[in-house]
Amino acid sequence: FGNPSSQEDMQIHVNQASQYYFENFSTNNGYSNQAYPLLDELDIINSYSYYDNYDRLPFESNPDEPDEYLFKADEINFYYPKTDNTKGLITINKTRVLLNDGETVADEWLLNVTYYDEYGRAIQTISDNHLGGKDIVSLRINFTGDVKETKERHVVDNQETTINQRFEYDNAKRLTKVEHKVNGQNWVILSQQKYTELSMLSQKKLHGVGNSFVQSIDYSYNIRGWMTDMNHVDDVQTDLFAMHLDYTSNGEYSLFNGNISGMSWSSQNFPDLKKYNFGYDKLNRLLNADFDNSNAYTTSYSYDKNGNIKLLTRKMMTEFGIKEIDKLDYKYNGGNQIKQIDDGVGTNYEQYGFKDNGISLPVEYDYDLNGNMIQDINKGIENITYNQLNLPNEITIGLNESKKIN
């Protein structure tokens, strides 16, 4: 809001307003322009939300297909029928489509219509797909609120793709099985879960038909409920990956606050055990990560008083032996945004770590008034433009205008 008036002046202006109407179905978008502050013709509205009923659907539907947004009762075997008692619920969303330049206003909208059961739970949405066609998502929800089955159907140019999923729960309402099928093919078990007496996941089996599964993942915990093992690092003959986490023992430092002091892992393709040890400061910020109790792969951090990374160093094994490949010095502006990163190692080992631009500039990272980064000299990014939603629209690399990403 660009008015330079004070908060007190604006409050007086609102209190003296003589009209309080906010809704008028005779207008194009269903709402009048009575709310404060008033909109003018230059203001761009990107979305509308409608509540309570579906009265606007006849105005929004395609005249050639007047029922395309209407509830589809035969999509799935619903536990409870659709209700018309939708007072206070969002029924229709209307969202503008932005063109590629991110700024031009397109007179193209996407609709999303939501239908509810008698308990106010969303059981079906019918929405426009931004690439064309319709997406129809239906949910079968039981009396306790568990989603027992879903059906997702994408329809475009008289062709459709359908994905069905079924869900099973135990008596504690914990998810125990997820089944999946595409376009009417056979059901496949995506996952099957088991839990401990304290409701922590103990086993997860993946992708199965019948009692045969491609992979089984086992989880172990300590008495505090912290996960200690995913599979077993000393036996990966049948497991693709295994990991062990240390908290109070076997790490470089014994910790008792939940911070991970050490991590070991192995895999089927690389069964040799690998390990990292971690150290923290008194504010639980990571200070160092040391690989396998050696100096071959080491990362260390220091911080400023605002908690920003101040200095970062990395060592690793190179073709020239163990070398310090990065010694990064971070500088920030008053808004805690990075404005400069310089590598004290120089450019000798850029192929292994951070790529500095080779010179120290007072401002290497720049931002717009919304806080979006618009320049990164170290990566050779000259400019980044954003659309009205602060999403990247175009990236210009170097001074060559032909090197653009949009």
Listed in sequence order, the DSSP H helices in 125-236 are none
Please spell the DSSP secondary structure of 260-293, one letter per residue.
Answer: --EEEEEESS--S-EEEEEEE-TT--EEEEEETT
Average pLDDT, the chain: 88
Confidence of residue 21 (pLDDT cuts 50, 70, 90): low
Look at residue 347 and tell me if it is in a domain. no
Give the pLDDT of residue 327: 95
- Give the residue-averaged pLDDT of 366-377: 95
Cα distance between residue 167 and residue 190, in whole Å: 10
Domain assignment present for residue 364? The answer is no
Same domain, 101 and 34: no
Least trusted range by pLDDT, from 35-49, 200-214, 320-334, 373-387: 35-49
This prediction's pTM: 0.84
Lowest mean pLDDT across 107-111, 230-234, 260-264: 107-111
Domain presence at residue 194: no
DSSP-assigned states of every residue in 292-318 = TTSSSSEEEEEE-TTS-EEEEEEEEEE
Confirm if 141 and 79 have CB atoms less than 8 A apart: yes
245 and 143 in a common domain: no
pLDDT (tens digit per residue) in 128-182: 999 999 999 999 999 999 999 999 999 999 899 999 999 999 999 999 999 999 9
**Does residue 260 share a domain with residue 160?**
no
- Report, as an integer, the average pLDDT of 65-72: 83
Instruction: State the average pLDDT over residues 57-67.
Output: 63
pLDDT band at residue 369 under the 50/70/90 scheme: very high
CA distance 317 to 300: 16
Domain-embedded: residue 66: yes
* Four-residue CA torsion sign, 65, 66, 69, 72: negative
Same domain, 162 and 73: yes
Task: Provide the percentage of residues in the chain whose pLDDT is more than 70.
Answer: 89
* Banded model confidence at residue 333, pLDDT cuts 50, 70, 90: very high
Query: Is the residue at 321 inside a domain?
Result: no
> Could you tell me if 54 and 102 lie in one domain?
yes
Instruction: Please compute the mean of the pLDDT values over residues 15-33 and round it to a whole number.
Output: 68
Together in a domain, 39 and 54: no
Question: What confidence score (pLDDT) does residue 46 get?
Answer: 87
Look at residue 33 and give its three-state secondary structure: coil
Q: What are phi and psi of 57, to 5 degrees?
A: -60, -40
Q: Please tell me the distance from the alpha carbon of residue 240 to that of residue 267, in angstroms, as a whole number.
A: 5
234 in a structural domain: yes
Residue 19 pLDDT level (bands cut at 50, 70, 90): low
Neighbours of 189 (CB within 10 A): 20
The pLDDT score that the predictor gives to residue 60 is 55
Assess if residue 273 is contained within a domain.
yes
Domain stop point among 146, 169, 192: 169
Among the candidates 169, 189, 204, a domain finishes at 169
Q: What are phi and psi of 123, to 5 degrees?
A: -115, -10
For residue 65, pLDDT beyond 70: no
54 and 164 co-located in one domain = yes
Residue 218: both structure tokens together:
């086992």
Whether residues 40 and 52 share a domain: the answer is no
Q: Which is more confidently placed, 60 or 30?
A: 30
Same domain, 33 and 64: no
Per the CB < 8 A criterion, the answer to whether 230 and 243 are in contact is yes
**Could you identify the residue written with the tokens 């060559």?**
400
**Are residues 125 and 141 both part of a single domain?**
yes
CB-based contact 389:96 (threshold 8 Å): no
By residue range, what is the domain housing residue 56?
48-169
C-alpha 137/C-alpha 163 separation (Å) is 10
Number of Cβ within a 10 Å radius of residue 7:
7
The answer to whether the Cα torsion of 372, 375, 380, 386 is positive or negative is: positive
Last residue of a domain, one of 279, 295, 323: 279
| Residue 129: predicted pLDDT | 95
Residues 229 and 154 in one domain: no
- Per-residue model confidence (pLDDT) at position 249: 74
DSSP annotation of 250: S
Could you report how far apart the first and last alpha carbons of the chain are, in Å?
A: 30
Mean pLDDT of 248-259: 78
Q: Are residues 23 and 64 in the same domain?
A: no
Tell me the average pLDDT across 59-82: 82
Specify if 269 maps to a domain.
yes
Pairing relationship of beta strands 47-52 and 404-405 according to DSSP bridges: unpaired
**Count of domains forming the chain:** 3
For residue 28, pLDDT beyond 90: no
Look up residue 33 and give its two tokens.
């322009």
For the ranges 28-37, 104-113, 299-308, the maximum mean pLDDT occurs at: 299-308
